[in-house]
Structure 1
Amino acid sequence: MSEPHRFDHPALQSLDGFRVAIDPSAERADIVLDRPPYNVVSMAARDQLRLVFEALDADARVRVIVLSGAGAHFSSGGDIKGFLEASPEHVSKLAWNVAAPARCEKPVIAMNRGYCFGVGFELSLACDFRLASETTLYSLPEQKLGQIPGSGGSARLQKIVGVTRTKDIVMRSKRISGSQALDWGIATECHPDDALEAAVAALVDELRSFSPLAQRTAKKLLNDSDDALLSTAIELEGLNYSRLRMSDDFREGVEAFHAKRRPTFKGV
């Protein structure tokens, strides 16, 4: 069963608009945006979310992290007033904080439903998997404020869907449904709303069945080689493959395959 989690870090003694729970039996941590009704993400929450991802990354009880929103919506975006009040130095760190799911070595799943706007969309794009509900609407609406996405949204989106579709979404503040996001490769899966939690739980269990070492290696390799030349990416893949060949997990995987049994991976 999931239990509310408290952190030792002084800056995390009072979480601003979100909560964290850990279920050791499922090796799962849940970060739930929880500021009804639309789960607006404050400037302070961005700093705290980065620290939380770093803490959960170091927590041996956690294999997979799930980022979600309480209620009918993931998040309608950031605290608009906060942008005018924040210092230039603080604003310069926004993209670094929002990229915390990507830097985290463990798999991170975004569970999206309802509004997934602005920084809510940017946080989801920084995750490894985006499981959407049929109620999901993705949007980067900053043009309506005379602004552009500032935390990696347009850059990450362009990597996924290309410049033509990214211009369509960003320059028109266009809303993309969960089913369309699946067609365009933005969402990993799209499910009826009442089936979303079960789909996320199934993915958590699937990811737990693999070697933690191989998962960390695959995530870092894919992130690091995303903008590399093909020859460089192949070279990096080969180097990481060679390193994993020496791991206990790989030996266990091979032995389990030949013995026709389930492997027991230990992450070494």
Structure 2
Amino acid sequence: MSQLTHVAQTMLSELDGFSVEVDAARERADIILDRPPFNIISMAQRDQLRLVFESLDQDPAVRIIVLRARGEHFSSGGDIKGFLEATPEHVSQLAWNIAAPARCSKPVIAVNRGYCFGVGFEISLACDFRLVSNTTLYALPEQKLGQIPGSGGSARLQKMVGITRTKDVVMRSRRISGKQAYDWGVATECVADDQLESATDALVEELRKFSPLAQRTAKKLLNETEDATLTTAIDLEGHCYSRLRSSNDFREGVEAFHSKRAAKFNGT
């Protein structure tokens, strides 16, 4: 009798255009786009990226996830031919797949250098932190193809920078530099290109020091209250605060503060 195989196992048996590295000692997982020179993201790769994020979210050895790329460009976008070949049902899942970093309960850092266009920009916008260099160029160039962003790019960008700037980027297929993205509040930090890796390492180590439980709670709260009224957001914040008060991590944090020592959180 043949054994049933979950579709995810088959889909992840050979990763398409990217690799995954887990450093258990540093509680870090790196998802690395690896289709040089421009790291074009295929349709199949989008499905796989979602599954990998979901898998790493369940991995107790991983605290922080880093999304980066090999070479001088993060990604010039998606496989154009793939859009014409994909079924309407498949195309309808594009935004869901690319939103995987946002749904992930753990902090996700996008490391962007060089071209970060189309879906490359969209998946970065779904991450919690975006580290850029002075070589970074962001763009949503779909208008040049007679299309619009289809994986959440225009919606997420508008939440961050407002309708005027988003129209400028989307309707003109305009490129914005890493420095401008930082000035607009899209990028978390902008550094010299040769400092991008060290800035990433520093952010990973900083995030590891906090309570995993408090970080998961903060991410979920902020994501879910983005569209809420101020009254609703404050109410939900209060409920989350109340639940954390009974956690071991909160007790450890308070005791460490009074003892003037570093806290040792365990995520409970």
TM-score range, shorter chain: over 0.9
Which residue is 2:58 aligned to?
A: 58
| TM superposition shift of 1:185 | 0.3
Segments of 5+ residues of structure 1 without an aligned counterpart are 1-7
Which residue is 1:28 aligned to?
A: 28
Which residue is 2:190 aligned to?
A: 190
- Taking the TM superposition and a 5 Å limit, the aligned residue runs for 1:90-169 are 90-169=90-169
User: How far apart in 1 are the matches of 2:113 and 2:55?
Assistant: 26
User: How far apart in 1 are the matches of 2:50 and 2:9?
Assistant: 12
Which residue is 1:250 aligned to?
A: 250
Residue aligned with 1:235, SS: helix
Which residue is 1:18 aligned to?
A: 18
User: How far apart in 1 are the matches of 2:211 and 2:96?
Assistant: 28
Residue aligned with 2:131, SS: strand
Which residue is 2:3 aligned to?
A: none
Aligned CA RMSD, in angstroms, stands at: 0.6
1:130-151 superposed Cα distances (whole Å, 9 cap, x missing partner):
0001100000000000000000
User: Match of 2:180, as an amino acid?
Assistant: Q
- Which contiguous aligned blocks of 4+ residues in structure 1 show a shift greater than 3 angstroms? none
1:61-93 superposed Cα distances (whole Å, 9 cap, x missing partner):
100000011100000000000000000000000
The two structures have a TM-score, normalised by structure 1, of 0.97
Which residue is 1:210 aligned to?
A: 210
1:38 matches 2:38: yes
User: How far apart in 1 are the matches of 2:77 and 2:68?
Assistant: 13
Residue aligned with 2:162, SS: helix
User: How far apart in 2 are the matches of 1:148 and 1:188?
Assistant: 26
Which residue is 2:5 aligned to?
A: none
Identity between Structure 1 and Structure 2 (%): 75
User: How far apart in 1 are the matches of 2:104 and 2:12?
Assistant: 18
1:72 matches 2:41: no
Residue aligned with 2:29, SS: strand
The two structures have a TM-score, normalised by structure 2, of 0.97
| TM superposition shift of 1:11 | 1.2
User: Match of 1:233, as an amino acid?
Assistant: A
1:108-161 superposed Cα distances (whole Å, 9 cap, x missing partner):
000000000000000000000000011000000000000000000000000000
Segments of 5+ residues of structure 2 without an aligned counterpart are 1-7
